[in-house]
Structure 1
Amino acid sequence: MLTPITPSDAPSLDAIDAAPLGATVTVLGETFTLPQTSRQADGRPGHVWDAHGSRRHLRAEEKQAFFAWAIIEILRHTVSATGGNCSTAADSAECCGHIIKDRILAAR
């Protein structure tokens, strides 16, 4: 199973951006191989390959993780404001998991 990138993993993208194209970088216990070239105007890689040979789009994963976190936070505060008993993001995800899942899948 792929380990998703979370909003707190920004240093991993910084390390990948700092590495030269074609390099192998280990960040947060995962090894990534950068492509030899980039089509991005800024020269940063648009994708990388993980140790299993799977192509990963880390910026898209980071964006998806951020919006999943934002949805959970909105639901957590909404439930708290309406007198619900969901005091943590994990509780909110459990209470409203189907909404979060549907929103994430719709974004793909």
Structure 2
Amino acid sequence: MRRRIAAHGSRHAEPAGRLPGLLGDGRLAARSRTELGCARLSASCTPIAQFLGKLGGHQQARLTADRGITYADLSGSALVVAAAARESAIVLRHQGRPAPPRTRPPSPGTATGFPR
């Protein structure tokens, strides 16, 4: 990956230098085992996955996006889950793979979406 950063010139050197700190901050937040901490780690995975994908590290980008989904699920926030799923779909599309099938949204009037 370092070769790819070097090949793209100095325009990627500064953002690449910030990624370990971004990931470290997210991991530190997730150690609290709170929903907000998990949401922060999930949110930090998005720019990292985008950057890795831009450099051609599609496998690493997919793993990072998957990690973002895992922590998004732990956050309990539908908005965080949607953002992580969007990033995962983008990474899969760049790999030429189909996105996972959509799940049916809950029916109006039921909390779980399952018939009574």
TM-score by length of 2: 0.24
Could you say which structure has the higher helix fraction? 2
TM-score by length of 1: 0.25
Could you say which structure has the higher strand fraction? 1
